[in-house]
Amino acid sequence: MAQRVAIILAAGVSKRMNTKIPKVLHEVCGRPMLSYVLDACRGVGVEKIYVVIGYNSEKVKEQFSDANDIIWVIQPEQKGTAHAVMCCREHLKDFAGQTLVLCGDGPLIRAETLKTVVAKHEAGRAAVTLATAILEDPTGYGRIVRDAYGNIQGVVEHSNCTPEQLKIQEVNPSYYLFDNKILFEYVQQVQPDRVKGEFYVTDALAMIIESGHKVVAVTAVRPEEAISVNSREQLSDTGKIMQRRIQKRLMETGATIIDPPNTWIDAKVRIGQDTVIEPFCCIFGEVSIGRNCRIGPFVYLRNSEKIGDGVTLEAGYSNIERQETGDGRRG
């Protein structure tokens, strides 16, 4: 099995979000966006993750200071995706395995999707494999251009598309798996974009295809996974999708959530078998709830609360109120 590393692009400043917080530290269901991308990489056997950071980099490093599989790489100026990859060259110039290239602002990525990419890459002995998505509204995304036989011919950015190409619904959500040697052979040849002056990974991809190397595009990304967070509205939409995933997982492991749309449960919450969560409960942080409990309705739990087996928390209970007043648990 080939060795595998990952490069995660996480250096950008989000002007549209109007924030001083690094974009990848904005939370989705109680966890920084970057956490989900890191977990997806770990889920496909990545042991070293090169995270490219720039804006407010010390805050990002501090947030993940306990991770021993991250190598931090500074991108002093944000000059595009290919430039960010090139910042990793000194670390990876002698590496002969596979390199995932992903974006840190795509928290809806799943390890299952990356496993599909890896399997396709290895079965086809490809130089590059990228995962694509089919979207009803592909506005803003680079389009996947294929020939009559279905072979990928390139990625055309939305702004450069012809009227015919704008009709293409298969898009590039930026999930790449490269042969590392080939990646760095071509990414260093990328020239700056004439309009923005930035360097793009898609230009390296175009050169790899033109050179005759095998490039495979597999339609493996669910529409929801293609979302990159570039605005507060997208952050909210992403949180709602992640919330459905979290609640589905909890219900599959034995919890009952009576009214999922009117319940909020953070990603780190643990709930035991046969516990019932009534409507309008909000459970944040690293809360642990035992088995055979009944929570709510209108219960508010936060921080590191641990609730044992067989406990009932009545309507309106708040552990914040209990902490402030010193009252014992009600119910």
The residue from 208, 226, 244 where one domain ends is 226
Sheet strands side by side (includes 288-289): 270-271, 288-289, 306-307
Give a yes or no: residue 245 inside a domain: no
Same domain assignment for residues 183 and 316: no
125: region left, alpha or beta (phi > 0 left; psi from -120 to 50 alpha): left
pLDDT 10s digits, 98-137:
999 999 999 999 999 999 999 999 999 999 999 999 999 9
| Total length of the chain | 331
**Which is more confidently placed, 19 or 194?**
19
Determine the average pLDDT of the residues in 301-314.
Answer: 94
Which CATH number belongs to the domain containing residue 163 in this structure? 3.90.550.10
Q: Is residue 246 part of a domain?
A: no
Same domain, 72 and 111: yes
Q: How many domains does the chain have?
A: 2
pLDDT in tens, 1-39: 679 999 999 998 888 899 999 999 999 999 999 999 999
The predicted structure's pLDDT at residue 12: 82
Do 215 and 115 sit in the same domain of this protein? yes
Least confident of 12-16, 138-142, 164-168, 263-267: 12-16
Residue 323 has pLDDT above 80, yes or no: no
Helices and strands (H and E) in the chain: how many:
9, 21
Q: Which residue has the tokens 């595998």?
A: 4
Nearest 5 degrees, angle CA 261-CA 266-CA 267?
115
Domain shared by 57 and 205, yes or no? yes
Chain mean pLDDT for the chain: 94
Residue 164, classed as helix, strand or coil, is coil
List, in order, residues 6 or more apart from 283 with CB less than 8 Å away.
264, 265, 266, 269, 277, 289, 295, 299, 301, 302
Structure token pair of residue 67: 């991770």
What is the average per-residue pLDDT within 261-279?
Answer: 98
Q: Are 50 and 101 in the same domain?
A: yes
What pLDDT score does 195 carry? 78
Alpha-carbon distance 190 to 173, whole Å? 20
| Active site positions, annotated | 16
- Indicate whether 236 belongs to any domain: no
* Residue 1, pLDDT score: 62
- Asked if residue 313 and residue 215 are part of one domain, the reply reads no
CATH number at residue 320: 2.160.10.10
Cα-to-chain-centroid distance, residue 164: 31
- 331 located within any domain: no
- Quick one: average pLDDT of 219-244? 96
pLDDT (0 to 100) of residue 45? 95
Rg (CA), the chain: 22
* Other C-beta atoms lying within 10 Å of the C-beta of residue 82: 25
What pLDDT is recorded for position 316? 87
Residues 178 and 38 in one domain: yes
Give residue 294's domain range. Answer: 253-325
What are the CA-CA distances from residue 277 to residues 247, 250, 299 (Å)? 11, 11, 9
Q: Residue 327's pLDDT is what?
A: 43
Tell whether 220 and 274 lie within a shared domain. no
The pLDDT-based confidence of 197 (bands split at 50, 70, 90) is: confident
The pair phi, psi for residue 98, each rounded to 5°, is -105, 145
Residue 241 forms part of a structural domain: no
Query: Tens of pLDDT along 145-193?
Result: 999 999 999 999 898 899 999 999 999 999 999 999 999 999 999 999 8
The answer to whether position 187 is within a domain reads yes
Any domain includes 232: no
Count other Cβ atoms within 10 Å, centred on residue 234.
15
Give me the residue label for tokens 């909210």: 236
